[in-house]
Amino acid sequence: MRVFLTLSLILVALSSVVLAQEVWTHDKVDYSFDIPSPTWRAISEPDAAHEHPEFVYGDRLDGYLTVRKEVVEAGTTAAELARRDQDQKLRFLPGFIEGKQEIFNGRLDGVTISYEFTRTGKQMLGRTYYLQADNRTIYALRFTGLRDKLSRIRNQTDLIARTFKLK
């Protein structure tokens, strides 16, 4: 009886997590992904002036997400784009500390890179998911936030990237 009760409580908890998820899409983009919590909200929708959506997890310092479609030379891999971004952009951030690159599997496969930097004297964390759509298109999901806070929602950033798919 106790086992049944415990399993029932676990199933109720899991179903509430699943029900809290919402699919985000927009008619001006060619993709969608799951939003795992109502704490995430769009702060910038795609329009004629801004083609990249932006999201925050409560506050910009708790978690900030931008999604960009990168058109690259044919045959460029997600790992190559990640290295290029790190060499040409990220390493110039104040207090930059290089993290590791990891293979990432989801509806679109690719790689992730993590790194640390400082902003206004605060320890920040960055995590970018480079998802390969085809041999010329890679989507970059760039998450930043206070190091401790962004680390705590890693399961949510992974879920957003794992559910990212083309329409």
In the numeric block, which tokens belong to residue 122? 């605060």
Give this prediction's pTM. 0.85
Q: Which domain holds residue 77?
A: 23-166
pLDDT (tens digit, 9 = 90+) per residue, 92-118? Answer: 999 999 999 999 999 999 999 999 999
Q: Give SS3 for 37.
A: coil
Task: Answer whether residue 3 is part of any domain.
Answer: no
Task: Answer whether residue 8 is part of any domain.
Answer: no
pLDDT (tens digit, 9 = 90+) per residue, 27-86? Answer: 889 999 999 999 999 998 876 666 789 999 999 999 999 999 999 999 999 999 999 999
Total number of residues shown for the chain: 167
Task: Answer whether residue 129 is part of any domain.
Answer: yes
CA atoms within 13 A on the CB side of 49: 1
Domain count for the chain: 1
